[in-house]
DNA sequence: TCGACTTAGTTTAATGAATAAACCAACTGG
DNA sequence: CCAGTTGGTTTATTCATTAAACTAAGTCGA
């Protein structure tokens, strides 16, 4: 139905596109959308809107709700997202363990699991876990989003240093276990997608920079990952941005890499790791060398300025654990990204909204791939509260 | 017909899409394409292909040619682009004059004109020239591409320092004179589009950098300008990339801008202007300070490395007058963009193909906007020879 | 309280575009 | 010269949308 993406059949392509448009309108206004509203929102006739709604209800993607208050005539039947059937499987793979979440179409988490493994039995442990989910929720899996550190084209893991994987056709493997389309997403990309999802109607380019043990970047366009091959994109950590005496040696062997200045490990000392909890990081921030923070902000600002000049993004968002660095760090980045001369607009820079749950990005990506639909920010936030 | 772009009508949307696909197949293989070939290439039935071809012939977009040699059965009727009717108006606006070209659908220039003006009478001179073209070729203008220095969203000139324009709704103004859709294109973007058009089947991101009196950049995706708002994108010249003592003051008031190191004016001396001819520039290159060239290459390479890490382009192309700098400059840029460590792939860097005529980019952009079609590289090259 | 008006939604006939299948046309090759 | 192949057209059918008439259920003013 909606799943069969971009078919060559041309017959029914219009239907699929209209189903997506109708569904998107329900996702954007769950609980208040109506058939008449879909007709108005799409420009289609009321008859067509009714027909589309009937098919979406039939597919268990949406359900009828209460009667809305009258606006001068017959009361409308509201429509909302059907959270009772389809599930999105989210798999967050990390070196020592993976987290599994089952997300309903309204964004709520229905189930959560964790799989621990050693490098040796990881493959089998993952397969077993995915197969177990498939057995527990037969015929209910709509799509799966797999989030992992490393580069991917959506189907295969091209290279993951952390997981020690190279050219692993993971999507294909999982699809044999769960009978639903599987999409692989880089972890920083997923973070960027989740962040863009918090915005009501994201428009234009948005630059997302992850600051953690390493540094990564992602670019979204209108709330979705910028199109094009993503083979190696966003691997910005080992670009040289500091020169001369100030350039520090980096773990990669070069000197003056962005990561050697702006990664949290560089600014907060070697005690920092991504596994630390918030209070522990705050403690590190309190005793950090101000000079290191300043240098990190400056290096980061250099990169932001250059990319902003090229792409003219509407916003720059700094994510990862960066928010613990507080306003002083952000202010310095902002000051350094200002253009002293010429009328060039100043790019807004801010920290990521911490309300999106870890699984949100991969879930959103899988949902978009499967249904061509985006969640409503309220739904995402509600889900994060759960 | 094809022009009515992205209508909300949904009815006929499929037809328009299929007409575009059929037309694209003829543009890609002019003179050898056939109805049966279109059926195979689109996946549509032969009946539909015939119907599409009939409509395209009716619209004077394509014409029947000779009978092709038999491949075992009835000989096919070849189809080619109809160069006898529709014309694309290309207007290249510069501070002291504008060049007008009328390009037929096969890429050949049918007419060429030049309009000289002073800043005071420029507006009226341009209007008169456009109106004159409309009068000379009644009902034959399919679309217009207007190429100019400055930022534009395609409809208005947002800001052009050279032309001293700000928020001028130029497309609207010209559309009242010529009854065809008008598209405004930044000059560097146009150069990038033309360059991408020289490639048989461009895929992925391509970074284009213009080196001339100033420095500008453009990004294309699969041969078209990267999507998204282009309000200020590509204004990369005044980003700081040189730090410390080596940073030279720039005309913009800052120090160490890319332009202050890598613009031809910076590397070849103040005698350089974009108006010089090739031999004059070569003479400047011969007596240029090697140190300046080296510093320019290094600064340029820094930018290329950073953007490549973010977008993972398939290729980086250096255009403008840069090719006169020769292999030594290019080799230095290449060496500096190599990653000494890690497996990161080396981005190919080369000079722009000089065969595309000035008007090619704007013509291609207008053609794509109007018909959703790209020229065949052979056609472009043939046109440039004329 | 009645009647005019509004808004929501369904039913039915008509339209536009694609498909499938049968067909004709023209060529090759044994 | 006939079987097979390729190019292309004709005709009936299917699918999804539209237009228009209609039903349903409310508001509002006199």
* pLDDT digit string, tens, across residues A88-113: 999 999 999 999 999 999 999 999 99
Q: Is B222 on the interface with A (CB under 8 A)?
A: yes
Mean pLDDT, residues B169-173? 98
CA–CA separation, B177 and B96 (whole Å): 22
Q: Which candidate in A228, A243, A254, A303 is best for mutational testing of the B interface (most B CBs within 10 A)?
A: A228
* Nucleic strand C interface residues, CB < 7 Å: A 9-11, 34-37, 46-47, 50, 53-54, 71-77; B 11-12, 14-15, 18, 43-48, 51-52, 67, 70, 72-75
What's the full length of chain B, in residues? 386
Res B316: pLDDT: 97
Residues 67-126 of B with CB under 8 A from A: none
What are the φ/ψ torsions at residue B27 (nearest 5 degrees)? -65, -35
B215 closest CA partner among B234, B243, B196:
B234
CA–CA separation, A279 and A130 (whole Å): 34
How is residue A226 written in tokens?
């910028």
In what helix (H) or strand (E) does residue A350 lie, and over which residues does it extend?
strand A349-351
Res A84: pLDDT: 96
Q: Which residue has the higher pLDDT, A43 or B355?
A: A43
Instruction: Give B345's pLDDT tier (boundaries 50, 70, 90).
Output: low
Mean pLDDT, residues A28-48? 96
Q: Percentage of chain B surpassing pLDDT 90?
A: 81
Q: Which residue has the higher pLDDT, B48 or A278?
A: B48
First and final CA of chain A: distance in angstroms?
Answer: 31
Quote the DSSP letter at residue A3.
S
Q: Which residue has the higher pLDDT, B379 or A292?
A: A292
Chain B residues with CB under 8 Å of A9 CB are 43
Instruction: Give B354's pLDDT tier (boundaries 50, 70, 90).
Output: confident
Q: How do beta strands A205-211 and A315-320 pair?
A: parallel
Between chain A and chain B, the number of residue pairs with CB atoms below 8 A apart is 134
Res A340: pLDDT: 58
Q: Which candidate in B8, B10, B219 is best for mutational testing of the A interface (most A CBs within 10 A)?
A: B10
DSSP string for residues in B64-133? EEEEPPPSSSSPPEEEEE--SS-EEEEEEE-SSEEEEEEEETTS-EEEEEEEE--TTTHHHHHHHHHHHH
**pLDDT tens track for A224-254:** 999 999 888 888 999 999 998 889 998 888 8
Res B374: pLDDT: 94
Q: Percentage of chain A surpassing pLDDT 70?
A: 94
B163 closest CA partner among B174, B182, B177, B147:
B147
Judged against a pLDDT cut of 90, whether residue B226 lies above it is answered with yes
**pLDDT tens track for A125-176:** 999 999 999 999 999 999 999 999 999 999 999 999 999 999 999 999 999 9
Could you tell me which chain A residue has the CA closest to the CA of B310? A234
B243-251, Cβ contacts within 8 angstroms, sequence gap of 24 or more: B243/A243, B243/A244, B244/A243, B244/A244, B246/B295
Q: Is B244 on the interface with A (CB under 8 A)?
A: yes
Chain A residues with CB under 8 Å of B309 CB are 234-236, 238-239
How far out from the chain centre does Cα A355 lie? 13
CA distance A49 to chain B (A): 13
E-strand ranges in chain B read 33-34, 62-67, 77-81, 87-93, 97-104, 109-116, 141-148, 151-152, 157-160, 165-168, 182-186, 205-211, 215-221, 224-225, 315-320, 349-351
Nearest by CB to A303, from B18, B234, B306: name it. B306
- Let me know: does A359 contact A92? Beta carbons within 8 Å: yes
Whether A312 sits inside 8 A of B239 (CB atoms) is: no
Chain A residues with CB under 8 Å of B43 CB are 8-10
Res A11: pLDDT: 67
Question: Which residues lie closer than 8 Å to B169 by C-beta, 6 or more apart?
Answer: B155, B156
Question: Which residues lie closer than 8 Å to A238 by C-beta, 6 or more apart?
Answer: A250, A252, A254, A257, A258, A259, B309, B339, B341, B342, B344
Q: Tell me the CA–C1' distance in angstroms for A35 and C11.
A: 16
* Global confidence as pTM: 0.93
What are the φ/ψ torsions at residue A245 (nearest 5 degrees)? -65, -30
Res B46: pLDDT: 97
Res B67: pLDDT: 96
Chain A residues with CB under 8 Å of B339 CB are 238
Q: Tell me the CA–C1' distance in angstroms for B73 and D7.
A: 7
Res A277: pLDDT: 86
Instruction: Give A4's pLDDT tier (boundaries 50, 70, 90).
Output: very low
Question: Which residues lie closer than 8 Å to A283 by C-beta, 6 or more apart?
Answer: none
pLDDT, mean over chain A: 91
Q: Which residue has the higher pLDDT, B254 or B189?
A: B189
**pLDDT tens track for A197-226:** 888 889 999 999 999 999 999 999 999 999
Q: Percentage of chain B surpassing pLDDT 70?
A: 94
Chain A residues with CB under 8 Å of B235 CB are 309, 312, 344
Sheet holding B182-186, edge to edge: B109-116, B97-104, B87-93, B141-148, B182-186
Q: Is A252 on the interface with B (CB under 8 A)?
A: yes
Q: Which nucleotides of C are covered by protein (CB under 7 A)?
A: 5-12, 16-22, 25-29
Residues 35-74 of B with CB under 8 A from A: 42-44
- Let me know: does A161 contact A150? Beta carbons within 8 Å: yes
Our CA dihedral for B375, B377, B378, B384, rounded to 10 degrees, sits at 90
Give the helix ranges, DSSP H, for chain A.
13-28, 35-42, 46-58, 122-136, 170-178, 187-197, 258-262, 264-268, 278-286, 290-311, 326-337, 360-371, 377-385
Whether A343 sits inside 8 A of B159 (CB atoms) is: yes
Question: Which residues lie closer than 8 Å to A179 by C-beta, 6 or more apart?
Answer: A134, A141
Q: Is A167 on the interface with B (CB under 8 A)?
A: no
Nearest by CB to B305, from A44, A233, A239: name it. A239
Mean pLDDT, residues B128-156? 97
Whether B311 sits inside 8 A of A228 (CB atoms) is: yes
Q: Tell me the CA–C1' distance in angstroms for B266 and C23.
A: 73
Res A329: pLDDT: 96
Chain B residues with CB under 8 Å of A8 CB are 42-43
Q: Is B234 on the interface with A (CB under 8 A)?
A: yes
Chain B residues with CB under 8 Å of A42 CB are 8, 10
Could you tell me which chain A residue has the CA closest to the CA of B245? A244
Could you tell me which chain A residue has the CA closest to the CA of B159? A343
Q: Which candidate in A52, A252, A262, A311 is best for mutational testing of the B interface (most B CBs within 10 A)?
A: A311
Judged against a pLDDT cut of 50, whether residue B322 lies above it is answered with yes
């Amino acid at each position: 139905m909606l799943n069969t993406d971009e078919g060559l059949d041309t017959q029914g392509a219009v239907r699929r596109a209209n189903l997506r448009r109708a569904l998107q309108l329900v996702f954007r206004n769950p609980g208040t959308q109506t058939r008449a509203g879909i007709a108005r929102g799409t420009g289609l006739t009321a008859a067509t809107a009714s027909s589309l709604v009937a098919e979406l209800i039939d597919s268990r993607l949406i359900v009828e709700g209460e009667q809305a208050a009258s606006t001068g005539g017959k009361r409308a039947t509201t429509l909302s997202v059907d959270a009772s059937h389809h599930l999105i499987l989210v798999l967050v793979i990390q070196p020592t363990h993976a987290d599994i979440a089952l997300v309903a179409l309204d964004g709520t988490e229905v189930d959560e699991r964790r799989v621990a493994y050693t490098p040796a039995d990881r493959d089998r442990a993952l397969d077993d876990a995915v197969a177990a989910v498939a057995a527990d929720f037969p015929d209910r899996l709509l799509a799966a989003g797999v989030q992992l550190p490393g580069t991917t084209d959506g189907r295969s893991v091209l290279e993951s240093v952390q997981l020690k994987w190279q050219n692993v056709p993971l999507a294909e493997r999982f699809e044999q276990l769960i009978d639903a389309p599987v999409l692989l997403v880089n972890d920083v990309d997923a973070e960027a997608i989740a962040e863009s999802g918090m915005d009501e109607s994201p428009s234009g380019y948005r630059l997302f920079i992850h600051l953690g043990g390493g540094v990564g970047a992602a670019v979204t366009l209108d709330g979705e990952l910028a199109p094009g091959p993503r083979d190696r994109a966003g691997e910005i950590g080992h670009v040289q941005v500091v020169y001369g005496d100030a350039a520090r040696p980096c773990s990669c062997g070069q000197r003056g890499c962005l990561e050697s200045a702006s990664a949290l490990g560089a600014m907060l000392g070697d005690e920092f790791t991504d596994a630390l909890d918030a209070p522990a990081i705050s403690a590190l921030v309190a005793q950090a060398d101000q000079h290191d923070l300043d240098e990190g902000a400056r290096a980061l600002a250099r990169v932001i300025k250059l990319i902003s000049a090229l792409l003219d993004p509407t916003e720059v968002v700094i994510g990862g654990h960066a928010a613990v660095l507080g306003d002083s760090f952000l202010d310095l980045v902002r000051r350094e990204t200002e253009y002293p001369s010429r009328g060039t607009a100043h790019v807004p820079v801010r920290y990521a909204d911490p309300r999106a749950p870890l699984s949100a990005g991969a879930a959103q990506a899988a949902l978009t791939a499967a249904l061509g639909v985006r969640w409503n920010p309220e739904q995402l936030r509600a889900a994060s509260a759960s």
